[in-house]
Structure formats: structure tokens, C-alpha cells
Copies of this chain bind each other. A is one copy, B any other.
């Protein structure tokens, strides 16, 4: 037996409880941001939606902007992990493109609020949040670049012979296209499956066009 207090049954341990209300604050802010932007939501508003006192907020974040930075980590950090695991399971084929868009669509459906937040605050009014998002997206582009150089994907273009700047050029284009596609999916009315299908179709064609351009890139210059 452990001489510490045994695992609590219905009562929560202290760091557990703290993490719980912290998460409640994050969730509350995220749901408030479905309609409005981060810099317009107030500290009191968040705490009210989370069911705690305004002053309790300061136990977790110094201000709302810092909460925003934490939200970026939650949203894009988890997404990055997901993508990494998914990408490892993919075979190299031309269908990777359609599959990628499909996976993105599914992710947007499952984590609608997360993507809304990223799209909204990417160029939003809070510098710290903008910087955090830019940093994460840069990581996306960098990881995609190493994957492409390792010929894990897309088979067609010989990315391993590309110079680094060109590789980053195309991966950042792809990442930006991903973000834009997510935003387009969010703008499409959720009730109309037809509108969403058109967005998905257009996005697939665009991504295919990009890859097609990459396939013929080496022959130029």
C-alpha cells in the first residue's frame, strides 16, 4: 500500500480539480467564440459560461489573451498529433489527395469550434495568438516537408531532389490551402450537404492542381 492518500473515489484530487475548471474555462471561451472574436469576449463572460467566479480566472490565466494562446496549443497541438498518426498509415498513391481532404472534412466536423477559432484568430486582433498560430502552422509545413522529402507521400514528384526553399514553398502553400479549405467548410451551411460537397470537390481539384504543378516543377528553372 502507498502511504500517500489512496486514489479518491468520488472526490477529486486537487490538481485534477484545477485542470477540470481550467478546461471548463477553455471550453467556455471556445464556445463563445463561435459567434464572436477573442478580443471581444470578456473575462467575466468566460467565467460566467464556465460557472465560476470572475476572480477564479486569475488562478489559471493572467488575462484572456493568454487563454487564447493556450487554446492554440490545445487546438493545433492535438490536430498535429492526429495528422501525424494518420499520415503514417497512408500508402503512397494518387488517392492520398482525396483522402487528405476527406480526413480534413471529418476533422472539421468533429472539432468545428477548434477550426473556427484558428481561422478566426489567425489574422485576428491578438498578436500573441497570431504568433502562436503562425508558429504551429510553420511546424505543420516543416513536418510535411520532411515527409515529402522522405518520399513517404505522393510518389509522383521527386521531392527528395528539391532544394529546401522550394520544398517549403510548396508545403506552406498546401498548409495554407488546408486552412482555407477548413474555413470554407465552416462557412458552408451545416444543413446543406450539397454545399459542402462542392467545397470538398473544389478543394480536391485545387490540391490536385498543386501537386500537378509540383510534378512538373523540376523540369523548369
Contact = CB atoms under 8 A, between A and B. Distances in A.
Given A40-B39, A40-B40, A123 B209 contact: no
Given A123-B119, A124-B124, A134-B187, A172 B212 contact: no
Copies in the complex: 2
A4 to B, nearest CB: 47
A187 B124 contact: no
Contacts of A119: 123
Interface string A115-156: 000011011110000100010000000000000000000000
Contacts of A38: 37
A44 interface: no
Interface string A40-61: 1000000000000000000000
A58 B146 CA distance: 56
Nearest to A180: B176
A169 interface: yes
A213 interface: yes
A128 to B, nearest CB: 13
Contacts of A95: none
Contacts of A206: 169-170, 172-173
Task: Determine the main DSSP class of A at the interface with B.
Answer: helix
A173 B212 CA distance: 14
B123 A205 contact: no
Lowest 9 A-B CB distances belong to which pairs? A213-B213, A37-B125, A39-B40, A209-B213, A40-B40, A36-B125, A212-B213, A119-B123, A173-B206
14 contacts: A37-B38, A37-B124, A119-B123, A120-B125, A123-B183, A130-B187, A170-B209, A176-B177, A208-B220, A209-B217, A210-B213, A212-B216, A213-B214, A216-B216
Interface of A: 33, 35-40, 119-120, 122-125, 130, 134, 165-166, 168-170, 172-173, 176-177, 180, 183, 186-187, 202, 205-206, 208-217, 220
